[in-house]
Amino acid sequence: MIETNAVLGYPDELSVRAGERITFHLSSRFAKVDAKAVLLRCVDADANGPGIKYVELESPMDGVHDVAWHEVPAGSCAVVPEDARLVPRAAWSIGGYVWATRLTDAPQTLLARWSDEAAAGYAIESSKAGVSLRIGSDRGPLVVSTSKPLLERYWYWVQATFDQASGDMTISHTRLAEGTVPAKTVTALATHQGGWKLDSQGPFTMAARPSTLSPLVHTGHFDGKLEAPRIATGIHSIEALQAVDAMPRPGVVDARLVAMWDFSIGIDGLDVVDRSANRLSGTLLQLPRRAVTGVRWTGAVHDWRLDPTQYGAIHFHTDDIYDCGWPAAVTLDVPSTWRSGIHALRLRPLDENGRRSHGRAPPDREVDLHSGQARSARGEQAVDAIEADASAAETFITFFVTPAAGALKAPLVVLAATMTYLAYANSALRLHSVHFEVLTEHLMVLTPDDVYLQEHPEIGQSTYDHHIDGSGRAFSSWRRPVMNMRPRSTLGNLAIDSHFTDWLEEKGIDYDLVTDVELHRQGAGALKGYRVLASLSHPEYYSEPMMNAVMAYQNDGGRHVALGANGFYWRCNFHPKAPAAVEVRRGMAGTRTWESRYGEVHLAGTGEPGGLWRHSGFAPQKLVGVGFDAMVYDHAGYYRFTPGSRDARVAFAVDGIGEDERIGDFGVRIGGAVGIEIDRLDHDLGTPLHAVMIATSHGLGPGALPTTEEFRTTVHGLEGDQNALVRADIVFFETPEGGAVFATGSISYVLSLTCNGYDNNVSRLTENVLRRFLDETPFEMPDV
C-alpha cells in the first residue's frame, strides 16, 4: 500500500498555460522531496481497468527540493488592524448580535482584542459554561461569566461593559423573543481594582483571537453568526448600545462611537466595514459565509441584493478553509513545448540519506502515526491504517496544462470539469452520511486518501459535506490539499474522466485540453477554433458564463460530444474576490446532501440564485438534449437502439453495430454503460424538437432511483423497474452553422470504452461519432 500523504500540497492555480509559471505549496515532516512532473493518461488505479498510466516529463524543476511542515490554518474570522483607538479608555461598552451553532467546553471567541502571548487585552467568549468577559491584568486574566450558556441557533444580544475607575466588569446576554420563547436577559458583575493590561498590541478580531502576533496565528474560533458588533466609550444600557444601529441623520455623529461594523455593507466582498467616524474597517480570513439571514430578516426577502440590511450577519466556522497560505516550495516554468493535458507533480519524500522514504516521518519528528490498537467484534487486531505495511511514499498533485499562446490547435478539445472536481474536493460524504451504503448496496471502499480525510478534517471537506456545526459547506477551494483529484484517489470524477483520455491515446486521436477555469474566465473564447468539444463523465457544476460559452460554441458550428450525465446541473460560481473557491448554494430542490437555510439560496459572491439550472430556466436538456433523471448506484444497465437509430441523420453513428446488440452491457467497476447517474430526453425541459433519440437504457431495477425534482408527490412505482422516465438516452441533434451535439446520458458510459482491449460497441459508437464530428463537412440542421 502506498503512503499518499507523506507530502501535502496544492498548486497556486489549477491550470497553467504552457510557457507560463505554476507554483506548488508543500508541507511535510520530511525535509527533502524528489519532484518530477508527469503527463497523466489515466489516473484510475483499479486493477480491473486501464490502471494508472503516465509519462515523465523533463523540466528544470526536476530533482530534490526542500520542504517544511506547515499547519492548515482552519477557521475563519475577521481581523481589524492594530489601532490604539481600540484600546479601552476610562469606560466603554461593547456588544453585538450572536447566533451560536456549536457550543464547546473550550471558549470560542466572539469579539476580542487579546494576545495570548502577552495575556493582555479583552475578549468576549462563549462556551458551554456561559458567556464571559476576560480582561488582562497584572494578576493574570480576570473573568466574569454569565454562567449560563447560549441556546444554539437562537439570536442573542451580547454586551460587556468595563469601568476602569470603579473596576466594574459586566457581561450579559439577552435572548431575543422567538416564537413562544420569551426574551430573557442574564447579567453578571465582577469588580476588580487596578493593574489592568488593556492593550494587546495586536488586531481587533471577531470569531477568533490571535495566539501569536508574529506571525499572526489565530485560535479560539467560533461557530455561528455574528452581526453588527460595536464599541462605544462610556457605560451604556443594552437599549442604548443597540440603538447605535439607527442610521443617523446627515451631520449627526456620535463621537462616543469607537466602531460599528456593518456586515450588510459589501456582502459580495471580503471587507468588514466600520460605519463609525473612525473607519476602522477590517478583512475576513478563510472565507466565512456571507449573504446569510441576520437578526432583522423578515422572510419577505430571499435575495440579499434587494435589502442587504436583512443580511447583516456573517456565519463563521471553526473549519472554514480557503487558502493554507503555505510558501511556494516548487516552481515550475512549464515549457511552451509541452502539450496540454492532465498533469501532476509527483513527489517522493527522501530520508536523511537522500533515499526514497517508506512513508514514515523521521522518528524525532514523528507525529500522528501511532498505532490505534483495538479489537473488532470478532477479535481481529486493528492497527494504524497506513503505517502497517506502507511500502513506499508517493504523492501526486494534479494540475492542468492548457495550450501555449499561439500554439497550433488540435481539432478536438477536452474540457476538464475542474469546477465539479472542486465541488467534490475532499468529499467525506461516504464516510459520514447515514445513507450511502444503502444507496450503493455495497460496503464502502476507502482509499488511503479517504482515511487521511477522516483523520484530518482540518484540510476541509467538499460542498457535499457539512461543517462541524452541521451547516452545509458552501465553499470549496483548491488552495489546500485536495485528496480526490489525482492518481490513487477515490474512484470518481477525474478517475472516470481519464478513461476517455486513455481511450483517445489508444486511438491516436490528438487533443488539446482546457478546464472550467478557462471556460469561466474567457467564455466562448476558450473554445474558439476547436471543431469538437468533449465534455466528460460528470460536468455537474456550471457558472452562467460557462453555460453561455458552451451554448455559444454550439450555435457557432461547434460540435459537442457530451460523454456523461448529471451535467450542467447546479448553478454556482467562482467567488469573484476569492477566485480559487467555488460557491454552491444547494437551494431547496434537487438531489442535495444539505439544504440551504431559508433565505440563503443566493450566492454571496455574485448575488445570483443558487440551486438547479433547471429552476433558472436553463435545464441541461436545453444545452445538450438530456438532463439528470436518476441515480443508479447499485446495478448498472445497458443501451439498446431505438427506432430513431434508423434515421439517416445518425447513420454515421450506428455504423457497424448490430441493431439488436446490447450496447455497453459491460464496464469497469460498475459493470455497465448505464450507471451511477443518468439523463433523459425531455422536450418540456428544452430538448430540441429535432433531436434524435438513438438509444435508450434497459436492465435498470428498483435501485434506479429518480432525482427528487422529477416527481411532485411520492407514489408507488417511481423506481427504474417500473418508471419509464428513469432511463438514460443517447441523443443527437444538429446546431446552427453546421454544428451538432451527441450526448450519452450516463456517467458510467466512459467506463466501458476500454473494455475488451478498447474493442467494443461503446468504443465503436464513440469513435464513429468523434470521427464524423472531426470531419469539417457541416451538419445540416433540419427546418425547425
Partner 1 sequence: MDHTSDPHAARYEIDPERLDLALEFRSNPSGPYGPELSRLVHRMRWGAFPGRYLLLTIEPGKRWALAQMPDERGEKVRVFHDVQFDSLDDAEWHVFQLRWKAITGRDLRLPEQARRR
Contact residues for partner 1, defined by CB under 8 A? 1, 45-49, 372, 374, 376-378, 380-385, 388-389, 428, 431-435, 437-438, 441-448, 451, 454-457, 468, 488, 491, 595, 634-635, 669, 701-703
The least CB distance from residue 573 to partner 1, in Å, is 26
Residue 300 or residue 443: which is nearer to partner 1 going by CB?
Answer: 443
As a residue count, the chain comes to 784
Residue 253 or residue 445: which is nearer to partner 1 going by CB?
Answer: 445
Residue 177 or residue 388: which is nearer to partner 1 going by CB?
Answer: 388
Residue 483 or residue 681: which is nearer to partner 1 going by CB?
Answer: 483
The least CB distance from residue 54 to partner 1, in Å, is 15
The least CB distance from residue 382 to partner 1, in Å, is 4
Residue 62 or residue 595: which is nearer to partner 1 going by CB?
Answer: 595
The least CB distance from residue 718 to partner 1, in Å, is 14
Cα–Cα–Cα angle for 473, 479, 484, nearest 5°?
70
The least CB distance from residue 359 to partner 1, in Å, is 15
Q: Which amino acid is at 671?
A: G
The least CB distance from residue 286 to partner 1, in Å, is 18
The C-alpha atoms of residue 498 and residue 513 are separated, in whole angstroms, by: 12
Residue 173 or residue 486: which is nearer to partner 1 going by CB?
Answer: 486
Sign of CA dihedral 4, 8, 13, 18: negative
Residue 46 or residue 506: which is nearer to partner 1 going by CB?
Answer: 46
Tell me if 632 sits within 8 A of 745, measured CB to CB: no
The C-alpha atoms of residue 266 and residue 277 are separated, in whole angstroms, by: 18
The least CB distance from residue 179 to partner 1, in Å, is 19
The C-alpha atoms of residue 561 and residue 534 are separated, in whole angstroms, by: 5
Left if phi > 0, otherwise alpha if psi is -120 to 50, otherwise beta: which for 461? beta
How far from each other are the two terminal CA atoms of the chain, in whole angstroms?
Answer: 58
Left if phi > 0, otherwise alpha if psi is -120 to 50, otherwise beta: which for 695? beta
The C-alpha atoms of residue 679 and residue 730 are separated, in whole angstroms, by: 9
Residue 167 or residue 701: which is nearer to partner 1 going by CB?
Answer: 701
In three state form, how does the secondary structure of 625-680 look? Answer: CEEEEEEEEEEEEEEEECHHHHCHHHHHHHCCCCCCCCECCCCCCCCCCEEEEEEE
Sign of CA dihedral 449, 454, 457, 462: positive
User: Measuring CA to CA, which residue among 611, 615, 599, 573 is closest to residue 268?
Assistant: 573
Residue 347 or residue 495: which is nearer to partner 1 going by CB?
Answer: 495
The least CB distance from residue 374 to partner 1, in Å, is 5
Residue 319 or residue 518: which is nearer to partner 1 going by CB?
Answer: 319
The C-alpha atoms of residue 88 and residue 778 are separated, in whole angstroms, by: 75
Provide φ and ψ at 337, rounded to 5°. -85, -10
Angle between helices 761-774 and 494-507 (to 10 degrees): 70
- Helix/strand/coil for 192: coil
Nearest-Å Rg of the Cα atoms of the chain is 29
The least CB distance from residue 377 to partner 1, in Å, is 5
The C-alpha atoms of residue 696 and residue 629 are separated, in whole angstroms, by: 13
The C-alpha atoms of residue 566 and residue 539 are separated, in whole angstroms, by: 7
The least CB distance from residue 467 to partner 1, in Å, is 11
Residue 447 or residue 621: which is nearer to partner 1 going by CB?
Answer: 447
The least CB distance from residue 51 to partner 1, in Å, is 8
